[in-house]
Structure 1
């Protein structure tokens, strides 16, 4: 429940479903997002994450189930009545308006007097470190600067929930890292609920306190990033989160982290052949052909690898400890 202007709001999905004709994009999902949390909806293209975000925003109708924001069922409420704001992937800035008027636009639509709305818009631009560009048009800004303006525009209504649709996907790697830091800072300072759609595991792990992994319209697993990484429930989560090997054995499927696999050591051992290797600075990543695994990766400390380097095609014995083999449900 909202506790004041800009305070975080709980979001709850109860058997929430979205169907487009015979195609079910979101299939009866249950999820509770605590007030003030940073939630990332994570998954491949077509998994249902964007449809879920758009239902929360009110840009898609709910087929069945309930959507609660705070203590209200908002299935039939228009976007403006939900206490949410959405930052679109395309930014959708008005090309003929300067930064101040872009940010102030929603307040203009609400009838806020010009001086008051422009003052509030400048405050928001300062918050995202764009105050000195207030008089510029969108075409005079870089992609990262346009994104900051779009973020300020979303925040000016003091929403209880900020919705972000792939907000970092158009940025180069350096800017992406900078904007991750900026989003974390704003989340911490504003205390509102962030719901962020991404297909990037790195992005979700770096930003969220709740990661929701989706697959084919369902939630495969939801929890804190460290829990998902260390205790994936399914082979899909283990593979999609990355850094894990999924191994078929007589005991069923198991996941072993690539950095827990040892060259020539461990309680459980098997043989493989080096298929590829990549130098990553502090580590070397090996791809192996191993019986019982579709893909097998090993991450080796740089100094240790180059003490006894391996070539592509070389045979290698690998192993891991019993405690590092995590059972998977499927």
Structure 2
């Protein structure tokens, strides 16, 4: 079965010569919720817009369901895009907003309104069909925009940071709604976000981008359990990036797998001495930060474990972990770039 989305050596250059996306290749299987995750400027939105056809591809190919669409306009691709701004027509009620694309296609009024009502029901908004956008909350406006995108029955739905304008409570509710719809409809969603929590909660496939490149593409659990590079480990969060106990390079160790030992205790296995710099009570866990020779390191301790042997800022302590809980990290693209700047021979 063809993948819903396939990118083959896709590059995006802008007029000034800046390269936003650097020869990336990616396959998104059918009926997958995929999140493109990374900081601002990493190339994730440019990638989404090239899939949609709203940005031209400088080189490489875009395939949807096995069909080459690199040079096709957005309307010919079988995708729909939900923009961050929602872009609802203020003078049209919810029903007519959702039905608008069908009106442009010449679908008879009774048919398009019946289909629009069906999609409003899908997002639990049929009772608001006659309301104008200004009479809706932010979350309701988003669901109208979602219904309007889905009424075209796309093979792939593209979402550009759709939850960024919502408050934290609504973001959680809408995450559940998006995942439910994706499963019920059985189509692929490609969702751009800079929120690690959002990507972890929604994705079947997380694609982490840095500097216009894909640095890791895997399931949320694989990305969290085994981040590929120091950048991924730091960006995903919940990890310490530490010097390898033997040899060059760095390792990642989950903060919740680390423990604290008194400075005079006999410690076996990998460990790192330091001074407690901060203690944060977070309910079920306590975050303890240590200043070490390798920089800040963190232990996330269960509440009962911490209070059995509490520490305070200024205390000496030893961060300890098991060899089984660490793994080696590959260099990040940014590490290679920094090496090139400081050492002209590094790129040779």
Q: What band does the TM-score fall into relative to the shorter chain?
A: over 0.9
Tell me the distance in 2 between the aligned counterparts of 1:196 and 1:76. Answer: 22
Give the deviation of 1:269 after TM superposition: 2.0
Tell me the distance in 1 between the aligned counterparts of 2:73 and 2:268. Answer: 58
Cα deviations by residue, 1:90-146 (Å, 9 ceiling, x for unpaired): 000000000000000000000001111011001000000111111110000000000
2:4 to 2, 6, 10: 10
Q: Is the 8 A contact 1:277 1:285 kept in 2?
A: yes
Partner SS, residue 140 of structure 2: helix
TM-score under structure 2 length normalisation: 0.91
Give the deviation of 1:58 after TM superposition: 0.6
Aligned to 2:157: 162
Q: Is the 8 A contact 1:84 1:161 kept in 2?
A: yes
Provide closer, same or farther for how the CA distance between residues 95 and 224 of structure 1 changes in structure 2, counting only shifts above 3 A. Answer: same
1:63 to 58, 63, 68: 58
Q: Tell me, which stretches of 5 or more residues in structure 1 are unaligned?
A: 3-8
Partner SS, residue 233 of structure 1: coil
Tell me the distance in 2 between the aligned counterparts of 1:321 and 1:140. Answer: 56
Give the deviation of 1:266 after TM superposition: 5.7
| Alignment root-mean-square deviation, CA | 1.2
Give the deviation of 1:307 after TM superposition: 2.3
Tell me the distance in 1 between the aligned counterparts of 2:107 and 2:132. Answer: 22
Provide closer, same or farther for how the CA distance between residues 79 and 266 of structure 1 changes in structure 2, counting only shifts above 3 A. Answer: farther
Q: Tell me, which stretches of 5 or more residues in structure 2 are unaligned?
A: 262-266, 332-348
Q: Is the 8 A contact 1:165 1:198 kept in 2?
A: yes
2:287 to 285, 288, 311: 285
Aligned to 2:310: 309
Tell me the distance in 2 between the aligned counterparts of 1:135 and 1:309. Answer: 59
Q: Is the 8 A contact 1:144 1:171 kept in 2?
A: yes
Give the deviation of 1:270 after TM superposition: 2.1
Aligned to 2:250: 253
Give the deviation of 1:318 after TM superposition: 1.7
Partner SS, residue 285 of structure 1: strand
Tell me the distance in 2 between the aligned counterparts of 1:277 and 1:61. Answer: 49
Indicate whether 1:88 and 2:62 are aligned.
no
Aligned to 2:223: 228
TM-score under structure 1 length normalisation: 0.96
Tell me the distance in 2 between the aligned counterparts of 1:320 and 1:308. Answer: 17
